[in-house]
C-alpha cells in the first residue's frame, strides 16, 4: 500500500533525527512556564511536537508547510472540479508530500475498499433516544467499533514497538473511510427518514458525502471537499488534537482516541462553536426580520456580550488575524452564494463585530475563526440542522489527528504525563 511504503521509507531518517536531537540536545530549553500559564490553560506553553501542521498567529494554519490557499491550488483535483480531492489531503498529512493525482486516487481506492460500516453501529445509533445530540451519536459510533481495532489485536498478540505504527495506519484508514457514511447516517436518522444511502464507489469522498447525505443541490460536493480539507488539522494543542494524543499515548487505539477527541470537539468553546454561530446569526436575522442595520447588529452584539456570553466564531487562542479557513469559506460563499441573506448577514458581522470586540477589550483576537461562516454555507445547500455541523467538523478533524497518531507511534512517543503542583507550591515558588 502506497501510504505504508512512503511512511516506511521516511522512518529511518526521522527516527535518527529525533533520537539525535533528544540524546545530544535534550537539555536545551525551549521556553519557561509562568504561574499564569499553569493556571491559564497552559496557553502558549511549548510542550508538544508535530511535523504535520503549525499555526502561525498571523498566517494561520500550515499543513505540512502549505497554507490553505496553497493547498487549494496544489492538491490534485478531479476533471472539472473546483476543490481538490480530500484523499490528496490525507496523503499529504500522512506522507508530507503533495500527491500526484494517481497517488491521491490510491488513497481513494483504500477508502473505497474499507467504507463498509458494521450493521451493529447503525443499531447502536438507532437504539439511542431521539433527542441525543449528533456529536454523542458520532462519538458513540466510533467507540462502538473499538473491537475492530487491528492495533489492539496485534498489540495483545505481541508486537515490536517499532511496528506499532503499521496497525495504527490500518485502523486510521479503516476509521476515516467509514466516517462520512456514519456522519451521513446520523444526519438521516435524526432529520430524515433514517434510511442508509450506500456510497457510490465511482465518487470521491466529497461527492460521496453529498450523495449519502441525500443533498441534491448542485455544488454541495465542492463545499464538502473544501470543508473536509480545511477542518482537518490545527497543530497539537487544540482540545481535539491534544485529546487524541493524550489518550493514544496510553497505547489506546484510534477508536478510543478519536472518540475522546470528538467528546472535546463537542464543547461550545471548540468545535460546537460552528452550530452556535449559525444559531446566533439566525437569532439576529429572526429578531430583525431580515438582515439588520449596522446599528441594530451593534446593539445586538453588545447585548450578547453584556449578558456574559461570547460571540461565537470570533476569537482564537493562537490566531491573531482573520483565520484563513474563514477566508477560504468566505471566498467560496462570495462566488457561489453572494445573494444568500445569511451570507449577507455574516458579512455584516465580519465588518462589525471585530470593532466591538476591540472596543470591549477582552478578546486577544477580535477576528473570525473557522466556525464563523461554515454554517452559513451549509444552510445555503439545505443542511439547516445546525446541531449536526460539529459532526462534519469531526469527520475532517479525525483525518488530521489520526495522521498525527500514526506518526506518534512511528516515532515512539511515550505516554504523556505532565507534573502537577499545588497552589501552596506555586505560592512558594512565587515568593508569597
Ligand atoms: N466573544 C466574547 N468574549 C470573548 C470572545 C468572543 N468571541 N473571545 C474571547 N473572549 C473573552 C474570553 O471569554 C476571555 O474573557 P474572560 O477574561 O472574562 O474569561 C477574554 O476574552 C480573553 O480570552 P482570549 O485569551 O482572547 O481567548 P482564549 O484563548 O481564552 O479563548 C476562544 C479562545 C476561541 C475559546 C474564545 O475566543 C472564544 O470563546 N470564542 C468564541 C467561541 C468560539 O468561536 N470557539 C471556536 C474556536 C475555534 C475552534 O476551536 N473551533
Mutate to test the pocket of ligand 1, among 237, 300, 315, 349 (most ligand atoms within 8 A of CB): 315
Of all protein residues, whose CA lies closest to atom 45 belonging to ligand 1?
269
The rounded Cα 99 to chain-centroid distance in angstroms is 21
Q: Identify any residues that bridge with 61 across adjacent strands, giving them in sequence order.
A: 55
pLDDT computed for residue 117 by the predictor? 97
92 C-alpha to center of ligand 1: Å?
Answer: 31
Q: Which residues of the chain have pLDDT under 50?
A: none
310 C-alpha to center of ligand 1: Å?
Answer: 7
CA dihedral sign of residues 209, 179, 243, 65: negative
**Phi/psi class of residue 83: alpha, beta or left (left: φ > 0; alpha: ψ in -120 to 50)?**
beta
Quick: pLDDT tens for 325-342.
Answer: 999 999 999 999 999 999
Mutate to test the pocket of ligand 1, among 310, 350, 397 (most ligand atoms within 8 A of CB): 310
* Domain residue extents for the chain: 2-109, 115-415
| 3-class secondary structure per residue, 285-303 | HHHHCCCCCHHHHHHHHHH
Quick: pLDDT tens for 108-120.
Answer: 999 999 999 999 9
The rounded Cα 380 to chain-centroid distance in angstroms is 22
Q: Is the CB of 317 under 6 A from ligand 1?
A: yes
d(CA 117, CA 132): 21
293 C-alpha to center of ligand 1: Å?
Answer: 25
Rg (CA), the chain: 22
d(CA 325, CA 344): 18
N-term to C-term CA, the chain? 60
Q: Is the CB of 77 under 6 A from ligand 1?
A: no
Closest ligand 1 atom to Cα of 372 = 44
Q: Is the CB of 270 under 6 A from ligand 1?
A: yes
Q: Is the CB of 271 under 6 A from ligand 1?
A: yes
Q: Is the CB of 315 under 6 A from ligand 1?
A: yes
The answer to whether the CB of 365 falls within 8 A of the CB of 204 is: no
Q: What cell does 317 get?
A: 487562542
Closest ligand 1 atom to Cα of 305 = 2
pLDDT computed for residue 3 by the predictor? 97
Of all protein residues, whose CA lies closest to atom 39 belonging to ligand 1?
269
Which are the catalytic amino acids? 270, 316, 371
Hey, which CATH number is domain 115-415, 3.20.20.10, 1.10.580.10, 2.60.120.10, 1.10.3720.10? 1.10.580.10
CA 186-187-189 angle, 5° bins:
60
Q: Residue 283's CB: how many other CB atoms inside 10 A?
A: 12
* Closest alpha carbon to 354 in 342, 340, 341, 369: 369
Of all protein residues, whose CA lies closest to atom 10 belonging to ligand 1?
363
Quick: pLDDT tens for 270-315.
Answer: 999 888 899 999 999 999 999 999 999 999 999 999 999 999 999 9
272 C-alpha to center of ligand 1: Å?
Answer: 13
309 C-alpha to center of ligand 1: Å?
Answer: 10
Q: What cell does 260 get?
A: 475522546
Q: How many residues does the chain have?
A: 432
pLDDT computed for residue 429 by the predictor? 96
Closest ligand 1 atom to Cα of 317 = 29
Q: Is the CB of 324 under 6 A from ligand 1?
A: no
413 C-alpha to center of ligand 1: Å?
Answer: 31
pLDDT computed for residue 275 by the predictor? 87
359 C-alpha to center of ligand 1: Å?
Answer: 15
pLDDT computed for residue 297 by the predictor? 97
* Closest alpha carbon to 407 in 111, 45, 120, 52: 52
- Torsion angle defined by CA atoms of residues 338, 290, 382 and 108, in that order, rounded to the nearest 10 degrees: 50
Of all protein residues, whose CA lies closest to atom 38 belonging to ligand 1?
315
Q: Is the CB of 48 under 6 A from ligand 1?
A: no
Amino acid at each position: 500500500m502506497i501510504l505504508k511504503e512512503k511512511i516506511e521509507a521516511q522512518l529511518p531518517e526521522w527516527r535518527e533525527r529525533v533520537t539525535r536531537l533528544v540524546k545530544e540536545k535534550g537539555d536545551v530549553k525551549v521556553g519557561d512556564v509562568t504561574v499564569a500559564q499553569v493556571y491559564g490553560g497552559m496557553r502558549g506553553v511549548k510542550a508538544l511536537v508535530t511535523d504535520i501542521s503549525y499555526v502561525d498567529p498571523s498566517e494561520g494554519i500550515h499543513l505540512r508547510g502549505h497554507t490553505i490557499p496553497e493547498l487549494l491550488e496544489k492538491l490534485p483535483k478531479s476533471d472539472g472540479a473546483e476543490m481538490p480531492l480530500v484523499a490528496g489531503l490525507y496523503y499529504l498529512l500522512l506522507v508530507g508530500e503533495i500527491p500526484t493525482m494517481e497517488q491521491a486516487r490510491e488513497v481513494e481506492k483504500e477508502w473505497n475498499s474499507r467504507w463498509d460500516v458494521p450493521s451493529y453501529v447503525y443499531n447502536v445509533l438507532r437504539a439511542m433516544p431521539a433527542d441525543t445530540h449528533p456529536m454523542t451519536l458520532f462519538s458513540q459510533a466510533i467507540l462502538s467499533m473499538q473491537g475492530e481495532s487491528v492495533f489492539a489485536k496485534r498489540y495483545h498478540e505481541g508486537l515490536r514497538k517499532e511496528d506499532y505504527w503499521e496497525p495504527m495506519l490500518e485502523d486510521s484508514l479503516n476509521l476515516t473511510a467509514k466516517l462520512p457514511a456514519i456522519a451521513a447516517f446520523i444526519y438521516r436518522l435524526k432529520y430524515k427518514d433514517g434510511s442508509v444511502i450506500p456510497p457510490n464507489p465511482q465518487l470521491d469522498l466529497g461527492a460521496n458525502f453529498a450523495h449519502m447525505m441525500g443533498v441534491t443541490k448542485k455544488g454541495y460536493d465542492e463545499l464538502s471537499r473544501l470543508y473536509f480539507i480545511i477542518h482537518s488539522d490545527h497543530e497539537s494543542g487544540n482540545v481535539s488534537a491534544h485529546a487524541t494524543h493524550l489518550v493514544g499515548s496510553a497505547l489506546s487505539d484510534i477508536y478510543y482516541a478519536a472518540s475522546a477527541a470528538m467528546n472535546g470537539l463537542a464543547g461550545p468553546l471548540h468545535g460546537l462553536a460552528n452550530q452556535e454561530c449559525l444559531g446566533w446569526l439566525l437569532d439576529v436575522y429572526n429578531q430583525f426580520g431580515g438582515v439588520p442595520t449596522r446599528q441594530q447588529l451593534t446593539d445586538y452584539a453588545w447585548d450578547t456580550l453584556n449578558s456574559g456570553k461570547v460571540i461565537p466564531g470570533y476569537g482564537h487562542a493562537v490566531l491573531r488575524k482573520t483565520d484563513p479557513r474563514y477566508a477560504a469559506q468566505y471566498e467560496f460563499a462570495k462566488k457561489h452564494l453572494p445573494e444568500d441573506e445569511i451570507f449577507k448577514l455574516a458579512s455584516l458581522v465580519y465588518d462589525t463585530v471585530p470593532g466591538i470586540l476591540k472596543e470591549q477589550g477582552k478578546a486577544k483576537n477580535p477576528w473570525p475563526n473557522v466556525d464563523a461562516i461554515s454554517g452559513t454555507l451549509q444552510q445555503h445547500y439545505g443542511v439547516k440542522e445546525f446541531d449536526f455541523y460539529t459532526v462534519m467538523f469531526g469527520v475532517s478533524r479525525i483525518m488530521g489527528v489520526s495522521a498525527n497518531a500514526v506518526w506518534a507511534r512511528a516515532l515512539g512517543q511515550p505516554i504523556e504525563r505532565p507534573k502537577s503542583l499545588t497552589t501552596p507550591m506555586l505560592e512558594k515558588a512565587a515568593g508569597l
